[in-house]
Amino acid sequence: MTESLETNEVLKRVLKSALIADGVARGINEAARTLDKREAFFCIYAKGCDEPSYEKLVRSLCNQHGIPIIEVEDKS
Quote the CA–CA distance of 65 and 76 in Å, as a whole number. Answer: 30
Q: Which burial class, exposed, middle or buried, applies to 28 when counting CB atoms under 10 A from its CB (0-12, 13-18, 19+)?
A: middle
Would the pTM of this model clear 0.75, i.e. be above it?
Answer: yes
Q: For the chain, give every domain's residue range.
A: 24-76
- pLDDT of 38-76, one tens digit each? 999 999 988 888 889 999 999 999 999 999 999 888 764
24-76: CATH superfamily: Ribosomal protein L30/S12 (3.30.1330.30)
Span 15-33, average pLDDT? 90
